[in-house]
Amino acid sequence: MKLTILFGGASFEHEISIVSAVTLKEKLQNRFELSFVFCDSQHNFYLIEPSSMKAKTFSSGEYKKAPLLTLARSRFVHQKMFKKIEIDGTVLNLIHGADGEEGVIAGLLDFYSFSYIGPRVDASVFSFDKRYTKWLCEAKGVKTIKYDVLYANEHKDIEFSYPVIVKPARLGSSIGVSVVKESEEMDYALDVAFEFDSAVIVEPFIEGVKEYNLAGYVANGELHFSIVEEPQKHEFLDFEKKYMDFSRSEGPSAAQIDDILLNKLKEAFKTIYLDMFEGALIRCDFFVIDDEVYLNEINPIPGSMANYLFEDFPSVIESLASSLPHKKRVRVGYEYIHSISQAKGK
DSSP state of 305: G
* Predicted confidence (pLDDT) at residue 21 exceeds the cutoff of 70: yes
Question: Percent of the chain having pLDDT more than 90?
Answer: 80
CB atoms within 10 A of CB 344: 7
* Predicted confidence (pLDDT) at residue 239 exceeds the cutoff of 50: no
DSSP state of 162: S
**What pLDDT does 146 receive?**
95
**What pLDDT does 328 receive?**
81
DSSP-derived pairing of the beta strands 33-39 and 2-8: parallel
More confident call, 332 vs 174 = 332
- In sequence order, which residues have a C-beta less than 8 Å from that of residue 187 and are 6 or more positions away? none
Among 330, 332, 324, which Cα is nearest to 114's?
Answer: 324
- Calpha distance 207→193 (Å, rounded): 21
Q: Is 71 buried (19+), middle (13-18) or exposed (0-12) by CB count in 10 A? A: middle
For 66, phi and psi rounded to 5 degrees? Answer: -75, 160
Peptide linkage before 163 cis (omega within 30 of 0): yes
Contact 2, 35 (CB under 8 A): yes
Mean pLDDT of the chain: 92
* Predicted confidence (pLDDT) at residue 237 exceeds the cutoff of 60: no
E strand or H helix at 48? strand 45-48
- Calpha distance 330→50 (Å, rounded): 37
Residue type, 84: K
Contact 8, 16 (CB under 8 A): no
Mean pLDDT for 163-181 is: 89
* Predicted confidence (pLDDT) at residue 250 exceeds the cutoff of 80: no
Contact 306, 123 (CB under 8 A): no
- Calpha distance 23→249 (Å, rounded): 7
- Calpha distance 20→86 (Å, rounded): 24
- Calpha distance 288→15 (Å, rounded): 31
* Predicted confidence (pLDDT) at residue 119 exceeds the cutoff of 90: yes
In order of their start, the domains of the chain are 2-118 (3.40.50.20), 125-143+208-321 (3.30.470.20), 148-204 (3.30.1490.20)
Q: Lowest mean pLDDT: which of 68-82, 100-114, 129-143, 270-284?
A: 68-82
pTM recorded for the entire structure:
0.90
**What pLDDT does 315 receive?**
97
* Predicted confidence (pLDDT) at residue 256 exceeds the cutoff of 90: yes
- Calpha distance 160→203 (Å, rounded): 8
Mean pLDDT for 221-243 is: 74
- Calpha distance 286→269 (Å, rounded): 9
Q: Lowest mean pLDDT: which of 35-39, 143-147, 290-294, 328-332?
A: 328-332
- Calpha distance 84→78 (Å, rounded): 6
* Predicted confidence (pLDDT) at residue 245 exceeds the cutoff of 70: no
Q: How confident is the model at residue 234 (pLDDT cuts 50, 70, 90)?
A: low
Contact 18, 103 (CB under 8 A): no
CB atoms within 10 A of CB 236: 17
Contact 77, 86 (CB under 8 A): yes
Highest mean pLDDT among 181-185, 232-236, 281-285: 281-285
* Predicted confidence (pLDDT) at residue 95 exceeds the cutoff of 50: yes
DSSP-derived pairing of the beta strands 282-289 and 210-219: antiparallel
Q: How confident is the model at residue 243 (pLDDT cuts 50, 70, 90)?
A: very low
Residue 241, CA distances (Å) to 111, 192, 214, 284, 341 in order: 36, 19, 18, 17, 66
Q: How confident is the model at residue 175 (pLDDT cuts 50, 70, 90)?
A: confident
Q: Lowest mean pLDDT: which of 10-14, 76-80, 156-160?
A: 156-160
